[in-house]
Homo-oligomer: A and B are copies of this chain.
Amino acid sequence: MAGKPINTFNKERKELNNTVMEYGGLSMKRFFSLDSQVYRKGKLSEKTKELIGLVSSLVLRCDDCIKYHTIQCYEKGITDNELEEAISIGLIVGGSITIPHIRKIFKLWKELKRNAKL
Interface residues of chain A, those whose CB is within 8 Å of chain B, are 13, 16-17, 19-20, 22-28, 30-32, 34-35, 37-39, 42-44, 48-49, 51-53, 55-57, 59-65, 79-100, 102-104, 106-107, 109-110
User: Please, which residues of chain B bring their CB within 8 A of the CB of A28?
Assistant: 84, 87-88, 91
Known: A26-B37, A64-B99; 19 extra A-B contacts, CB below 8 A, are A19-B106, A23-B106, A23-B109, A25-B88, A27-B91, A28-B88, A31-B88, A31-B91, A35-B92, A35-B99, A38-B91, A38-B92, A43-B81, A43-B82, A49-B86, A52-B90, A57-B93, A61-B62, A94-B97
Q: Is the CB of A34 within 8 A of B31?
A: yes
Q: Which of B16, B51, B56, B98 contacts A59 (CB 8 A)?
A: B56
User: Please, which residues of chain B bring their CB within 8 A of the CB of A56?
Assistant: 55-56, 59, 89-90, 93-94
